[in-house]
Structure 1
Amino acid sequence: MRITDESRSAGYGALLWLALATFSMGIDGYVLAGLLPQIAGDLQVTEAAAGQLVAMFALTGAVAGPVLSALTGRWERRFTIAAALAVFIIGNLIVGLAPDYAWAMFGRVFSAVGGSLLSAVVSSYVVAKAPPERRGRALSFVLGGWLAATALGVPLGLLLGRSDWRVPLFLVAGVGTVALIGILIGVPRLHLPAVSLRETLRPLARPTLIGGLLVATGIMTASYLCFTYATLIIGPRVEGADAMIAAMFGYGVVSLIGNIISGRVTDRFAPVRVITLIICTLIVVALLGTLGLALPGLAGAIAAVAWFLATALFNGGSGVALQSRLSRMAPESVSLVLALYGSAMALGSALGGILGGALLTAGLPADGLLPASAIVLGVTLVLHLTVARATRAPVVTAA
């Protein structure tokens, strides 16, 4: 991808503001899930209806991200990032001030529109600005904002939301506003070569690219098949709600570590090899975790936490390698491809929760979700190797 102007590179000072933007999105993505009872009571709806505020955010983002990315492909990138972040901030303020459920739902949809575009454009900006040999580390630095929020989102939401569930939303808006100011001041402008909408959408006709996106969906499906119901797996083995909060915090921290390691490894080795290693290791972790959960007492508790954190390490490391791989497959349409990646991840998280719920309803014990995730990962590995074999010919990379 050739930059036509604004040759000033984006150093880590500029990337820090982008990471802060993803940090605000990460908190927003996790905080409401831990506050459903408070939201339901305040808005006078059922907890199931309150849960739809989370579901609609993901669904809207999955649909809006690729569409908006394609439509805004000719816009200057810093302006696009700032505009998307502003929409995201306003949406959170609408939810925080919502007098009723309808306004809260409108605010969630509004914020999802901005958040979905922001996520795609930030990643494509980093890919365009970072030197190829440091692209993995630059991506991991910016995506680290999201994973850091994963570590803080659940405990922050539970602590701040005890008094008022709206407070975390104002926190998200405040952090987003600071990031917006920093982006406008410290992030270099970037124009990319004008590409027609038809040319932008052309990669969608490539089966290998669709397969690469489905690999991301498969990894996320396996992850959320267990993560969504982690309380049912770990909860019976640890005592007290604080222990579960600590486990969630640990998941976020270890995910961030995995992200950092993956950024450095992806710069040294081909993303295909990194993805293969991650999927194979996740399968082994799921199978060893299944055996460990059968242990009694303290040994079973240790095995459950060890499985949870090991899964976090490699799930956290998958994002950089997947995005690097996909951007190489279609360098002329990076914004759209990374928007589709976000949709693929959102689809996987939804499918994982749905599949896990269906298996539990059918009578599978919660511990049985681990071998089920291993099966999903096995299918994903076959798909990944098939796509890798089909794309073994040299791929045109960004200049």
Structure 2
Amino acid sequence: MTQTRAAGAVEGQEFSYRPLIWLAVATFSMGIDGYVLAGLLPQIAGDLHVTAAAAGQLMSVFAFTAALAGPVLGTLTSRWERRTTIGLALGVFVLGNLIVGLAQNYPMALGGRVIAALGGSLLNAAVIAYALALTPIAHHGKALSFVLGGWMTATALGVPVGLVIGQSSWRFPMIMVAVVGTIALVGILLRLPQLHLPGGSLVERLRPLGQPRLLAGLLVTTGILCSSYACFTYATLILGPHFHAKWAIIVIMFGYGVASMAGNAVTGRLVDKFSAIRVLTVVLIGLLLNAVFGLVALMFAPAAVAAVWGLIWFFSAGVGNGGGAVPQQARLASMAPDSAAIVMALNGSAISLGSALGSGLGGVALTAGSSPNGLLGVSAGILVITVVLHWIVSRSKPAVVA
């Protein structure tokens, strides 16, 4: 394979989805991993003899590990050829999922999640940076939408399939993640061109955090994911009382995935036509209103109305959460165009941190006595803070570099 450098790709005028296909398959495997456990918490809790809240922490420990490890691993491998880096990260991710799938106790499952997170944290940033480097600037929105579309497709296709086979054993979906990840690994090593990006030290990677505007922008990412995972991690507990059949939850998860794909596809095209800030503003306000109306309906409406509105809330949240990724990442990349790869790595940590905080806060709220429906109130509170922070970032002016 010939080696490719980022500069040539950015300066080119042509755009092709072909080099991005295997990256999308990789994010597809990550998407299954990121969402399927939420639909299997009762089975996991029963098999590993822990509470549902403790089972939810399998998602939290993954996210916390990824948040802390992302910048460090990204720095240690920054001078490596990118295809090799992606392949190594994906291999570690696959290994971690195999360990979880074979775990005989809760500590072993936690250890597997840590290993998977080490690979996933490096994989996420490397994939996004690779996609941006190979894509002309004018098409960054479409490129991000396509690659992240693998994640969204996983929620629509991979997660329902995982939940179906997970009815026999929650371990089978973990094996499925490993299989899909292995397929992506083979495709990446055989089909992707080599790519070298500028390396850097940990200090250089963390330097963007010295810009208050960019730091606040990264916290917007954390807020979006925190509000999402506070509810999504425990979606089966929120919706389960209204939909008792096992197949119902599978269908609902499928609907969430389709909604996420739709949101991702629409905003990916809108970002290339309109301001990323405007698109993100609409998404955030929509998510906040959806959480508030969903909370009121689930807490106070008659059972039949609450069931219907619960679906409306969940699917609308899917549209918003899927649609927020592209404009947010495009906005962050525009804040520091010369450090896009570094910013995307930090954004990956912000995503993981938000996921961990959301899952953790949801678990704490349940342990403290909150009803599952009350988690929508937790989500709404987080979104209020996030919207205010987004407004401050949007109103602030870029720092002048001397």
Question: Shorter-chain TM-score category?
Answer: 0.7 to 0.9
Indicate which of 267, 280, 286 corresponds to 1:281: 286
Indicate which of 364, 380, 386 corresponds to 1:374: 380
For these two proteins, the number of residue pairs brought into alignment is: 393
Look up the match of 2:186.
181
Indicate which of 341, 365, 368 corresponds to 1:335: 341
Shift of 1:255: 0.6
| Alpha-carbon distance in 2 for matches of 1:137, 1:31 | 26
**Cα 1:37–1:386, aligned 2, differ >3 Å: closer, same or farther?**
closer
Q: Structure 2 counterpart of 1:313, which letter?
A: V
| Alpha-carbon distance in 1 for matches of 2:310, 2:106 | 38
Look up the match of 2:132.
127
Cα-to-partner distance string for 1:84-122 (whole Å, 9 max, x where unaligned): 112212222333345655554433322211111001110
Cα-to-partner distance string for 1:371-399 (whole Å, 9 max, x where unaligned): 4433322221111111122235799xxxx
Q: Structure 1 counterpart of 2:361, which letter?
A: L
Given that residues 162 and 173 in structure 2 are in contact (C-alpha distance below 8 angstroms), is that contact kept between their aligned partners in structure 1?
yes
Shift of 1:138: 0.9
Given that residues 6 and 191 in structure 1 are in contact (C-alpha distance below 8 angstroms), is that contact kept between their aligned partners in structure 2?
no
Cα-to-partner distance string for 1:47-76 (whole Å, 9 max, x where unaligned): 566554433222211111111112222222
Given that residues 59 and 359 in structure 2 are in contact (C-alpha distance below 8 angstroms), is that contact kept between their aligned partners in structure 1?
no
**Cα 1:77–1:242, aligned 2, differ >3 Å: closer, same or farther?**
same
| Alpha-carbon distance in 1 for matches of 2:267, 2:246 | 32
| Alpha-carbon distance in 2 for matches of 1:91, 1:314 | 30
Q: Structure 2 counterpart of 1:332, which letter?
A: D
| Alpha-carbon distance in 1 for matches of 2:370, 2:273 | 42
Look up the match of 1:385.
391
The TM-score with structure 2 as length reference comes to 0.87
Bigger CA drift: 379-388 or 31-40?
Answer: 31-40
| Alpha-carbon distance in 2 for matches of 1:381, 1:56 | 27
| Alpha-carbon distance in 2 for matches of 1:75, 1:231 | 42
| Alpha-carbon distance in 1 for matches of 2:105, 2:384 | 45
Cα-to-partner distance string for 1:121-175 (whole Å, 9 max, x where unaligned): 1011112211122111111111111112123444333322333433322222221
| Alpha-carbon distance in 2 for matches of 1:292, 1:235 | 16
Given that residues 97 and 116 in structure 2 are in contact (C-alpha distance below 8 angstroms), is that contact kept between their aligned partners in structure 1?
yes
| Alpha-carbon distance in 1 for matches of 2:395, 2:119 | 36
Given that residues 5 and 191 in structure 1 are in contact (C-alpha distance below 8 angstroms), is that contact kept between their aligned partners in structure 2?
no
1:296-375 to 2 correspondences below 5 Å: 296-360=302-366, 365-375=371-381
Look up the match of 2:265.
260
Bigger CA drift: 249-258 or 301-310?
Answer: 301-310
Task: Give the SS at the match of 2:194.
Answer: coil
Given that residues 35 and 157 in structure 1 are in contact (C-alpha distance below 8 angstroms), is that contact kept between their aligned partners in structure 2?
no
| Matched-pair identity in % | 55
Q: What value does the CA root-mean-square deviation take over the aligned residues?
A: 2.8
Shift of 1:326: 1.4
| Alpha-carbon distance in 2 for matches of 1:278, 1:366 | 24
Q: Structure 2 counterpart of 1:46, which letter?
A: V
| Alpha-carbon distance in 1 for matches of 2:241, 2:106 | 34
Q: Structure 1 counterpart of 2:349, which letter?
A: S
**Is residue 2:64 matched to residue 1:59?**
yes
| Alpha-carbon distance in 2 for matches of 1:197, 1:290 | 42
Bigger CA drift: 308-317 or 363-372?
Answer: 363-372
Task: Give the SS at the match of 2:120.
Answer: helix
Given that residues 70 and 335 in structure 1 are in contact (C-alpha distance below 8 angstroms), is that contact kept between their aligned partners in structure 2?
no
Indicate which of 293, 301, 310 corresponds to 1:295: 301
Task: Give the SS at the match of 1:202.
Answer: helix
Bigger CA drift: 154-163 or 77-86?
Answer: 154-163
**Is residue 2:230 matched to residue 1:225?**
yes
Task: Give the SS at the match of 2:248.
Answer: helix
Q: Structure 1 counterpart of 2:50, which letter?
A: T
Task: Give the SS at the match of 2:262.
Answer: helix
Given that residues 4 and 193 in structure 1 are in contact (C-alpha distance below 8 angstroms), is that contact kept between their aligned partners in structure 2?
no
| Alpha-carbon distance in 2 for matches of 1:358, 1:144 | 31
> Which ranges of structure 2 fall in alignment gaps of 5 or more residues?
none
> Which ranges of structure 1 fall in alignment gaps of 5 or more residues?
none
Given that residues 13 and 186 in structure 1 are in contact (C-alpha distance below 8 angstroms), is that contact kept between their aligned partners in structure 2?
no
Look up the match of 1:144.
149
Look up the match of 2:252.
247
Task: Give the SS at the match of 2:214.
Answer: helix
Look up the match of 1:237.
242
Shift of 1:250: 0.8
Q: Structure 1 counterpart of 2:251, which letter?
A: A
Look up the match of 1:204.
209
| Alpha-carbon distance in 1 for matches of 2:364, 2:114 | 27
